[in-house]
Amino acid sequence: MRIIGLTGDEAVAYAVKQCDVDVIAAYPITPQTIIVERISDFVANGEIDAEYVCVESEHSALSACIGASVMGARVFTATASQGLALMHEILYIASSLRLPIVMAVVNRALSAPINIHGDHSDMMGSRDCGWIQIYTENAQEAYDTTIQAFKIAEDPNASLPVTVNLDGFIISHSMERVEILNDEDVKRFLPPRKPLYRLDVENPITIGSLCFTDYYFEFKRQQAEAVEESYKTIMSVMNEYSKASGRSYKFIDTYGIEDAEVLIVCMGSTCGTARFTAKRLRERGEKVGIVKVSLYRPFPSKEIIEAIKNAEALVVMDRAVSFGAPSGPLCSDIKNTLYDAGLRIKILNIIYGLGGRDVSQSDVEQAFKLGFKLKSGDVKDKVLWLGVRE
């Protein structure tokens, strides 16, 4: 084990190097560029034996990844924002073809206006695509999750593509102290890929046929089952990795839920700020806590209900807006889950941090305050935009 100072992007690139990836096809877009540049360096220096395909767009990036993946290669790509939006149609195809592609999404706002900074609107805009989606809190998690992502994706019981999400600039460009596993440990953790099927002249199959109304429905049912059941694979891989690395990985992470009256539920780098703020508030006696959602798809309903069921008020923070919807994406999923569990806890949706708007401890304190107001019945709004200038 070594400790290196790495930014989030660099940490992802380092993980890709150690995972013996065969083909990387990617197109640069801020704030993902450092990932592809580092990988290009590794390839040029022979530190990784891979083909780096400098595709001419993100749509072609994922298309080339599909081509490489059906040959049995281990593939990786990365993108953000407009790039993810551009490859949208291919996202669905990759997951429907059950290809274990790993993609780092350096979450960035969607145009217009064009904004290069971090929020979750890009991945949220494509959350139905059938990929497994995991959000990371810092560079360490970005590194660890990338390695786990390959193992999750390639497990024959899952065989699904995975996105590793990291906040644009906040994680991607911040230098942190990252613990790197030894190359041999990564190799032991991640054996060579054994594809479910491949293009092989000795066993010619047809991939991507036309399906009429008589079969399509069944294929989608099969796919939905695969995504739902993949939680078993994800749990098993996370447990194995936790043992191998000494760092704990679970579907969600909690702090202070034993006695919290007000809980903040959030994803990404904000969880770090929220946890730190919660710690400070708890020291002066306030009963607060946080629930960090790491695994977003498939949605870990069971674990989330276990964590939030005793709270008196929930403040769900969304770093993305779902225009015209009753609440933001994460909050919608939480409300959905609560309803299914027969629980009716007071819940406030906070839209925050869009376009990279900074989230400070005082913002989080404000969110907790709103939670207490909600608990005492003094908040009538269902959705509030925190920090926006009126």
Partner 1 sequence: MARGERITVTLRELPIEDYIVSGHRMCAGCGSAIAARMALKAAGPNTIVVNATGCLEVATTIYPYTSWRIPWIHVAFENAAAVASGIEAAIRVLTRKNLMKQKPNIIAFGGDGGTFDIGIQALSGALERGHRFLYICYDNEAYMNTGIQRSGATPLGAATTTSPSGRVIPGKKEWKKDLIGIAVAHNIPYAATACISYWGDYINKVKKALSFNGPTVIHVLSPCQLGWRFDPSETIKLGRLAVQTRIFPIYEVEYGKYKLNINVTKPLPVIEYIRIQGRFRHLLEPQNSHIIEDIQKNINLQWNRLLKLCSIE
Partner 2 sequence: MSKTGWRSLPVAGIIPKAGSSLEYKTGTWRAFKPVVDESKCTFCLLCWIYCPDGAVKRFDSNRKISIDYDYCKGCGICASECPVKAISMVEE
- Bridge-based pairing of strands 295-297 and 288-293 is unpaired
Minimum Å distance from CB 91 to partner 2? Answer: 15
Minimum Å distance from CB 240 to partner 2? Answer: 24
List Cβ neighbours of 386 (8 Å cut-off, separation of 6 or more).
Answer: 317, 350, 351, 352, 363, 366, 367
Minimum Å distance from CB 77 to partner 1? Answer: 10
Nearest Cα neighbor of 250 from 277, 219, 271 is 271
Query: Of the listed pieces 59-67, 247-255, 271-279, 354-362, which binds partner 1 according to CB under 8 A?
Result: 59-67
Which of residues 4, 40, 51, 386 is near partner 1 by CB under 8 A?
A: 51
Query: Of the listed pieces 33-41, 71-79, 130-138, 292-300, which binds partner 1 according to CB under 8 A?
Result: 71-79
Minimum Å distance from CB 195 to partner 1? Answer: 11
Query: Of the listed pieces 4-12, 47-55, 132-140, 328-336, which binds partner 1 according to CB under 8 A?
Result: 47-55
For residue 182, count other CB atoms closer than 10 A to its CB: 11
| Sites for partner 1 among residues 190-249 (CB under 8 A) | 192, 199-212, 215
Minimum Å distance from CB 60 to partner 2? Answer: 21
Which of residues 56, 214, 283, 390 is near partner 2 by CB under 8 A?
A: 214
CB-nearer residue toward partner 1: 93 or 341: 93
142 binds, among partner 2, partner 1, none (CB under 5 to 8 A by kind): none
Strand partners, 75: 23
Q: What is the DSSP string of 320-379?
A: S--TTSSS-HHHHHHHHHHHHTT---EEEEEE--GGG----HHHHHHHHHHHHHHHTT--
Q: What is the DSSP letter of 267?
A: -
222 binds, among partner 1, partner 2, none (CB under 5 to 8 A by kind): partner 2
Nearest Cα neighbor of 42 from 54, 56, 52 is 52
Rounded Cα distance between 271 and 255, Å, is 10
Which of residues 37, 67, 341, 357 is near partner 1 by CB under 8 A?
A: 67
Minimum Å distance from CB 66 to partner 2? Answer: 11
Rounded Cα distance between 272 and 178, Å, is 16
Dihedral pair phi/psi, residue 347, rounded to 5°: -140, 135
Which of residues 207, 325, 343, 388 is near partner 2 by CB under 8 A?
A: 207
Place of tokens 């401890």: 361
Which of residues 92, 197, 276, 385 is near partner 2 by CB under 8 A?
A: 197
213 binds, among partner 1, partner 2, none (CB under 5 to 8 A by kind): none
| 56 contributes a contact to partner 1 by CB under 8 A | yes
Rounded Cα distance between 292 and 297, Å, is 14
For 10, the enclosing helix (H) or strand (E) is: helix 8-18
CA 349, 270, 359 angle in degrees (round to 5)?
80
Q: How far apart are the first and last CA of the chain?
A: 50
Rounded Cα distance between 204 and 40, Å, is 34
25 binds, among partner 2, partner 1, none (CB under 5 to 8 A by kind): partner 1
Query: Of the listed pieces 15-23, 106-114, 212-220, 257-265, which binds partner 2 according to CB under 8 A?
Result: 212-220
Query: Of the listed pieces 117-125, 220-228, 355-363, 370-378, which binds partner 2 according to CB under 8 A?
Result: 220-228
| Residue 334 near residue 314, CB atoms below 8 Å | yes
Map residues 89-128 to x or -, x wherever contact with partner 1 holds by CB under 8 A: xx--x-----------------------------------
| 202 contributes a contact to partner 2 by CB under 8 A | no
Q: Which CA distances in Å does 255 have to 57, 66, 114, 116, 295?
A: 41, 40, 36, 31, 16
Please report, as ranges, the residues that interact with partner 1 according to CB under 8 A: 22-23, 25, 49-51, 53-57, 59-61, 63-73, 75, 89-90, 93, 192, 199-212, 215
